[in-house]
Structure 1
Amino acid sequence: MLHGPISSAQAQPHAPRPPRRLSVEVLRLCAIIGIAVFHTFSASFHHIAACLPSVHQAAAACGTMAALAAQPASLWPLSVMMTLGSWGNHVFFMISGFFLVASAYGKAGEPRFWRSQYRSVARRVCTVMLTIAFYALLCRIVDQWIVPVPAVHQPSRWITGLEFVWLYCLFTTLAPPMGWLLHRLDGCRQTVRRAALVTALAIMALTYALNIVVAATASAPGISFALSDWRKWMSAITYMQSFLLAGCIGVTRQHASNAISSTTTTPAALRDDINTSAFLTRRCRLTMLLLCAAMIGIAYAVALALPNPTLLTAISFKSTSLLSFLLALSALLLAIGPVQPAPPAPVYTPTVGAIHHMVTAMASGIIGFYIIQSVTTELWEPIAHAVAAPPATVGTAALWYGSGILFSLALVVLACLCDRLIRRPLFMLIHLAK
């Protein structure tokens, strides 16, 4: 992926922005791994979930999965993994919004704001388009001379199949007007700002209320999630809200940072109050993350105890999962860290520096990974099913989970190395990568 929103924010030395942090890069890498793990186990999860109502009759259709479906404790980790897909997507869009919207906000008062902003937007979109073209060509070469890649001949796989990528392009165009709007709100009366906040929260609450309906009725007859169906668009709307919310968090962080650095004699008590009101304490953010993880675990335990396959699949259904959103939000807050007065530049030992470089290099390949993972499904899915074949007994469930996770990690490493070693050097030649 283009060093995306993070690099572009950093490339503006005169604009206020959150510093690039290793913890944010680690979070992006975790998002990639989470998406990979979700796709590896997704088919097995839905097969086992469909077996739940007939477990006690030991339906032949369940095959070797019947034993696992009959043991909620063994199925629980698989269920929890199903939140990782929407969680990873939320994380990516939140990190993008956090940097892009805050960067636009910091430049909103500059001359030629719109021209410079949309020049940057055009550059990002161009980079994404060329990335898609690069992988289309690479898949053609593999299909022609190495192994068949059926999806390379399907236009739909490059259009609706890359929904995640197109949404990123769309959201980047929203960053400048969002940053400009937030900048204008600074000059408004407090009642206007409060009204805007209440309206935004009401819209978000309505979105997730509709998401509950979408998730609960996803398996109902006649529901197809076609592009013309409003349910299909709920994913885009929900991810857009995550993008914009994280952008507001980035702007709020700038306000807190400016408040701290406005005077050199800020009392410690005032500094702590600013940090707490803006982003909570580090301990509080960690508690939020653990509570969200606990809620996910409890929700799946209840669904398995009933057993209720509709509830089981609805908890993590696409972007509609409120729990995945809350987990992503708390993870972002933890990763960006507290606002500090004049934070010192990080000093890394050679080992930590090498780890930082490796994590950043891998995390920058999220767009490339998503394209490879989506377009080459017919190639890696049979391997995943062979490597992580569902266990015949509950006793081998741990081996099943372990082999599936290791396969997911291998797929991430392969895709990200391909992006880092092949695409990025080519894009550096045309000055579209750093």
Structure 2
Amino acid sequence: MRSGKVRNERIEFLRVCAIFGISIFHVLLVWFQQASGLSAVHPQMTVSHAEVLAVSFPSMWLMSIISLLGAWGNHVFYMISGFFLIASLAGKSRSRGFWRSQCSATLRRCIIIVLTLAFYVCIALLMNAYVMPLPGVGSSTWLGIDLEFIWLYLIFVALAPAIAWVIERIGSLRAEMTVVAMLVVVYLLNGYIAFFAQGSLDGRGLGDWRKQMSAVTYLFSFVFAGLIGKRLREADAANKASKLYKALAYLKSPSILKMLMALACACVIALTGILAFTGHNDILYDLSFKSTSIISFVLALLALILCATIPQAKTNDDGRRHARRFIASINMLAPGILGFYIAQSLMHALWYRASYYVMHALLAQAIQYGGVARVGLLAAFFAFGIIFAVAIAAFVCLFDCFTRQPALRLWKLA
């Protein structure tokens, strides 16, 4: 959720990157699972020439990096919301009438989420009736666990005023120390899940403790980003001679932030490259297992801070023209992230079959050839998957821009 009327265009761009990252991750997920050797553990999974990916060092390296995009995009989604919403509400929580005003404001935010869900459920039912059958349509699983991230988002938004109120009362420093300590515990448990206790791929219901840890992990991303947003607001409001301002000046230094981001990306590329080169495909999968990846968390956090703190660069007239066009495109796509989340959960089968058919055919050809021909076919496999995923995400976001969003504005809910 954004506070205020002025958008931070870099954060809007980060939203779009999250949308594309999640889409690419979902298109390539099944291939990464199969190439990582999960088909040997789970015989129900069909091996469709994924062995040609498993023996290709560049393919496994690229897929392992792409596999981090799923959790990274989820963290970005929750972090951006917490960064603005909790920081804004914490500042307002000492004002008179806070709870009365926030009851109506929070209800309004929740109504937007529920109406968005209802809108895409109706579209999915129409698609199921007139285009193609959708697996599990209308079932409790389809509306429940398949939409886990949306229900979590709804809960986090509803809890945000209470979280902000508590943070403001106990103080930023004490809240930060508490959350950091709990984050350490959360990611120790996540590491245990990823490397020792993943469980059945089909058996992670809402009652499973690993599924509940996923919700806890994203809640802490939401809260921790809110604490950072609160600190940055305090630093902006503080006297420039204060210790707080001087301490956080390092956090807001563009050169230091860029260096940290570059270092983190280099470490991830090196680690995944070494594991792919040495054939540890199972460890590559464990590193990015669902919500447990601390790599995805750190990269999302650094990306958010970078986008939130680096000032807008000055451009010449031609640069401004191109920048305005680019910003206009970003502003059209970014608000569609909620709609895309719901659409890809409810109607994934609509585009999954098309992408799977083409990518399976490319691997079937690649397995018959060697040398340059195989390299070319594998390159085509990845190029198609990435372009297809980006195109689908852009289409859904544009559809959302011209359908759901005008309807919400008509009802004065946008």
Q: TM-score, structure 2 length as denominator?
A: 0.88
Q: Tell me, what secondary structure is at the counterpart of 2:238?
A: helix
Report the residue type matching 1:47 in the other structure.
Q
Q: Distance in 2 between matches of 1:221 and 1:411?
A: 30
Of 413, 416, 433, which residue of structure 1 is paired with 2:394? 413
> 2:370 matched to which residue of 1?
none
Q: Distance in 1 between matches of 2:246 and 2:62?
A: 39
> What is the Cα deviation at residue 139 of structure 1?
1.9
Of 71, 89, 98, which residue of structure 1 is paired with 2:83? 98
Q: Distance in 2 between matches of 1:75 and 1:323?
A: 17
Report the residue type matching 2:78 in the other structure.
F
8 A contact 2:73–2:300 mirrored in 1: yes
Residue 10 (str. 1) matches residue 4 (str. 2):
yes
> 1:263 matched to which residue of 2?
none
Report the residue type matching 1:10 in the other structure.
G
Of 15, 31, 37, which residue of structure 1 is paired with 2:18? 31
RMSD: 2.8
Q: Tell me, what secondary structure is at the counterpart of 1:152?
A: coil
Q: Distance in 2 between matches of 1:213 and 1:84?
A: 21
Of 120, 134, 153, which residue of structure 2 is paired with 1:149? 134
Q: Distance in 2 between matches of 1:43 and 1:52?
A: 10
- The number of aligned residues is 397
Change over 3 Å in CA distance of 1:180–1:406 after alignment to 2 = same
The superposition leaves residues 193-252 of structure 1 with CA deviations (integer Å, 9 ceiling, x where unpaired) of: 655443322111000000001111344579932221211111111111110011001110
The superposition leaves residues 326-352 of structure 1 with CA deviations (integer Å, 9 ceiling, x where unpaired) of: 000110011001589xx99xx993442
8 A contact 2:72–2:297 mirrored in 1: yes
Q: Distance in 1 between matches of 2:330 and 2:221?
A: 24
Q: Distance in 1 between matches of 2:92 and 2:203?
A: 43
Q: Distance in 2 between matches of 1:275 and 1:295?
A: 25
> 2:380 matched to which residue of 1?
399
Change over 3 Å in CA distance of 1:85–1:143 after alignment to 2 = same
Change over 3 Å in CA distance of 1:150–1:271 after alignment to 2 = closer
Of 360, 374, 377, which residue of structure 1 is paired with 2:331? 360
The superposition leaves residues 237-293 of structure 1 with CA deviations (integer Å, 9 ceiling, x where unpaired) of: 111111001100111011111114xxxxx57x989835524x241111112212222
8 A contact 1:369–1:412 mirrored in 2: yes
Q: Tell me, what secondary structure is at the counterpart of 2:296?
A: helix
Q: Distance in 1 between matches of 2:119 and 2:396?
A: 14
Of 287, 292, 297, which residue of structure 2 is paired with 1:320? 292
> What is the Cα deviation at residue 378 of structure 1?
1.7
Q: Give the fraction of aligned pairs with identical amino acids, expressed as a percent.
A: 34
Q: Distance in 2 between matches of 1:270 and 1:182?
A: 21
Summarize the alignment of residues 243-392 of structure 1 with structure 2, pairs less than 5 Å apart.
Answer: 243-260=222-239, 266=240, 273=246, 275-277=248-250, 279-338=251-310, 349-389=320-360, 390-391=362-363, 392=366
Q: Distance in 1 between matches of 2:357 and 2:202?
A: 32
Summarize the alignment of residues 65-76 of structure 1 with structure 2, pairs less than 5 Å apart.
Answer: 65-76=50-61
8 A contact 1:90–1:325 mirrored in 2: yes
8 A contact 1:257–1:339 mirrored in 2: no
Change over 3 Å in CA distance of 1:161–1:53 after alignment to 2 = closer
8 A contact 1:52–1:69 mirrored in 2: no
> 1:16 matched to which residue of 2?
none
Change over 3 Å in CA distance of 1:64–1:149 after alignment to 2 = closer
Change over 3 Å in CA distance of 1:62–1:383 after alignment to 2 = closer
Report the residue type matching 1:428 in the other structure.
R
Q: Tell me, what secondary structure is at the counterpart of 2:403?
A: helix
Q: Distance in 2 between matches of 1:413 and 1:194?
A: 40
Q: TM-score, structure 1 length as denominator?
A: 0.84
> 1:57 matched to which residue of 2?
none
Structure 1's unaligned 5+ residue stretches are 12-18, 55-60, 187-192, 261-265
Q: Distance in 1 between matches of 2:102 and 2:184?
A: 31
Report the residue type matching 2:334 in the other structure.
A
8 A contact 2:217–2:291 mirrored in 1: yes
> 1:189 matched to which residue of 2?
none
Of 112, 115, 122, which residue of structure 2 is paired with 1:130? 115
8 A contact 1:384–1:407 mirrored in 2: yes
Of 21, 29, 32, which residue of structure 2 is paired with 1:42? 29
Change over 3 Å in CA distance of 1:299–1:220 after alignment to 2 = farther
> 1:423 matched to which residue of 2?
404
Q: Distance in 1 between matches of 2:254 and 2:375?
A: 39
Report the residue type matching 1:81 in the other structure.
I
Summarize the alignment of residues 116-127 of structure 1 with structure 2, pairs less than 5 Å apart.
Answer: 116-127=101-112
Q: Distance in 2 between matches of 1:358 and 1:233?
A: 37
Structure 2's unaligned 5+ residue stretches are 367-373
